[in-house]
Amino acid sequence: MTDHPKGVWFAVPSAIRSCPGIRGEIAEGAGVHQYLIEHKERYRNQGLGFAFFLAWNYFSFFSCGLVPVIHVIRSSERVWMWTGLFFAVTSLVIMLISTRIPLAGKRGFGVIAAICSCGATIVIWMSFYDARTYQMVSVIGGMIAGVGLAMMAHVWGDRLSRNNESDIEFSVPTSFIFSFIIYFVLLALKGPVPMLVDAALPVASMLFAFRRPTCNLSEEPELSEGRCIRGGELIRMLAGIATLCLLLGLLWFQFAYFRLLATPEMVSDRFLHYLLPFSCSFLLSIIALLFCIKLSRYVNFTLMFRWGLPLLLLSYALLYYDYSDPLQKIVAYTVNFIGMFGVQFGFWLAAPKFVRRSHLPPSVLFGGMLAAEGVGIFIGTGYGLSIIDGISATNVMNESLLFFVILLLVAMMVGFNPCWSFFRASERWSVDGEMAVSKNLDEGSVSDDINALFEQQAEDLRRSFNLSKRETEIAALLLAGRSRPYIRDELTISLNTVHAHTRNIYTKCDVHSQREFMDLPHEKEKQQTEDDLVLP
């Protein structure tokens, strides 16, 4: 999922000696092959572990997979409501405790998360064996599940935030695909087997999350975690993401409320009412989102809203067309799931990147955003359950449009923060045009070090060819082999502006293509070496 051409990697060895930020083990010439071996194991651990977490979430709360005996209309939604409430409360508690103690990195925290999630799965499944106690037992199971879900989400938020951006773009889509395969197999099975496997998924997820690589993996980059965060500092951090959390909560309120409106009223045919809509929505979501990644090369928080809002509006339109038609409900149900998957997909891609760019503690970002999601689910599902019995097509459209307009008005008033698409804790380029050295360079990954190399090369070209500040930023990305659409999204400028600056850079440097421009620093280095040999 990376945008680097092969020439980038051939360019690294000849320039490593001149870049002081490159790690010693890589500079000594022995690290690249070992790095690939080590990170292949990390990809496997994180890809499978995160996939198990997602599959457990989908199978337990997004379908009737845990319904073995009695059929209760909208049973999954009832459990999901209480799961959302305790998901929100637990996320806030974890965030507050993590200001003193980094919980997500502790193995005991993962053990408790696995126990809660596994136990909740069994409790929810057993609640369906007695209609008289179903409601009370399923509520208890949903509450426990909310605690386990929040704990595991914080663990994976911490793990993914320690990857560089290319790793995130590879691991997250891979995990979503694996989770769908697991879900598809489980829902196709019958009897207690799927429940037992589902109960084991959280345990497997936490085992992979805390699994130690067999080889000597290099030190992970330090995040802004593990230090004490005072109350005033925490408030300032939360204020910076308040509008993001507000909009995310409103979005999940819409999804949860609409799920009640469109959920199938008959649960006897699991293939027609759950497996088919889920499969179609998942496949369409993955294909479309991977296409978005390929085109834009940068996925940010704004994608969640650009993706979710049109699909919500389409879902409402489908229900309004004929609310009594079961087939129409299934189609609307599928469209709603496409929206939910897209928002989840965008969240798990954007949030770890935001942590890396902003140096915000993972517990603060994930705590705030997960709490907003949980509150939205609880209120949306609770309100939907309270009115669903007397609702008609007219009511659906009137109330749905009202909620949708409220979301649009809030988005219009608070706006989309530019920091959601690109954020740096400090300016990359200082006022006088000199490159600002990243304070976390020594703690970064090999990918971060290579990016620093291209920035240093761009700075050298700035001095030699009198490039402007913006041209120097674009030159660094061109040297890294980035495409022009990627540069557009990375620097939040128009594509025409990228084209204009690129033409100016090529003219000043007397080159005609990106390939020639990427070779320019090495030609200058070679020329300098020859000149040094000629001198007496």
| Nearest one of 441, 371, 358, 356 to 168, comparing CA atoms | 356
pLDDT of residue 281: 78
Per-residue pLDDT tens over the stretch 358-377:
778 899 999 999 999 999 99
Side-chain half-sphere of 248: how many Cα atoms within 13 Å? 28
Q: Is the pLDDT of residue 132 over 90?
A: no
Q: Is the pLDDT of residue 425 over 50?
A: no
pLDDT of residue 49: 92
Q: Is the pLDDT of residue 340 over 80?
A: yes
At 69, the pLDDT band (50, 70, 90 cuts) reads low
pLDDT of residue 118: 95
Average pLDDT over residues 305-313: 82
Domains and CATH numbers, the chain: 24-420 (1.20.1250.20), 441-527 (3.40.50.2300)
Max avg pLDDT among 3-7, 52-56, 61-65, 523-527 = 52-56
CB 505 within 8 A of CB 467: yes
DSSP secondary structure code for residue 64 in this structure: S
Lowest mean pLDDT among 136-150, 208-222, 419-433, 438-452: 419-433
DSSP secondary structure code for residue 101 in this structure: S
Distance, in Å, from the CA atom of 498 to the CA atom of 515, rounded to the nearest integer, reads 17
At 303, the pLDDT band (50, 70, 90 cuts) reads confident
Q: Which two tokens stand for residue 35?
A: 């790095």
Lowest mean pLDDT among 82-96, 97-111, 148-162, 295-309: 295-309
At 416, the pLDDT band (50, 70, 90 cuts) reads low
Average pLDDT, the chain: 76
429 SS3 class = strand
pLDDT of residue 225: 54
pLDDT of residue 530: 56
Q: Is the pLDDT of residue 392 over 70?
A: no
pLDDT of residue 412: 77
Distance, in Å, from the CA atom of 37 to the CA atom of 156, rounded to the nearest integer, reads 22
Provide DSSP, 346-381.
Answer: HHHHHHHHHHHHH---HHHHHHHHHHHHHHHHHHHH
Per-residue pLDDT tens over the stretch 13-61:
333 333 333 333 333 333 444 444 555 666 677 888 999 999 999 888 8
Distance, in Å, from the CA atom of 434 to the CA atom of 462, rounded to the nearest integer, reads 9
Percent of the chain with pLDDT over 70: 72
At 286, the pLDDT band (50, 70, 90 cuts) reads confident
Q: Is the pLDDT of residue 183 over 80?
A: yes
CB 474 within 8 A of CB 484: no
- Measured between alpha carbons, how far is residue 16 from residues 23, 59, 167, 474 in Å? 9, 48, 22, 21
Per-residue pLDDT tens over the stretch 456-510:
888 888 888 899 988 998 998 898 888 887 787 677 677 888 889 999 999 999 8
Other C-beta atoms closer than 10 Å to the C-beta of 188 total 11
